[in-house]
Amino acid sequence: MKTYIRERIQEVLKLDEPPHRLSLAFSLGIFIAFSPWLGLHIVSAVFLAWMFRLNKVVVLTASFVNNPWTIVPMYAFCLWFGVKITRSNVQVPEIAWGSLGVRELYDLLLPFLWPYLAGTLAVGGVAAVFSYFGFLWTLKRYRREKAEG
């Protein structure tokens, strides 16, 4: 698995595009990975890459940071962070699983909506900024080392 990931990263680093554009594509993908619109990450990545004329492969690759193994910790952290920054006093409710319907689920989750949106957008924005500069530095270093030897 490590070899596979390393090879995919090297493929992205070898793309013949300006470092700034590739870094923008990567950071957009990271923002999408943290975005609150669950189930629409791939559609969002392709559409926004097309709209901003960024590399679709890079945007999609970065958006896959959010995957079945990472989705729970990522969104749990975003929700926790959202509760903190909105100063919300929501509490985890007792759930009557036997009588849980769509209306009850809506009523249970509605108080978490604003903290969830605030947390995912804030964490996604910060992660996007850091990933832009981190990817730009990595890409420039990789290209410099390839040119030197």
In the 8-state DSSP scheme, what is residue 35? -
CB contact at 8 A, 20 and 136: yes
* pLDDT for the residue numbered 1: 61
Which residues neighbour 67 within 8 Å (Cβ) at sequence distance 6 or greater? none
DSSP, collapsed to helix, strand or coil, labels residue 88 as: coil
The alpha helices in 14-112, defined as continuous H runs, are 19-34, 41-51, 56-63, 71-86, 102-109
From the list 44, 52, 2, the residue with the least C-alpha distance to 25 is 52
Q: Which two tokens stand for residue 27?
A: 């950071």
Rounded Cα–Cα distance for residues 19 and 25 (Å) = 10
**Block means of pLDDT (10 residues each) for the chain, length 149 residues?**
75 87 96 93 96 95 90 94 92 75 84 94 98 95 86
Quote the pTM value: 0.87
Task: Compute the half-sphere exposure of residue 137: CA atoms within 13 Å on the CB side of its CA.
Answer: 6
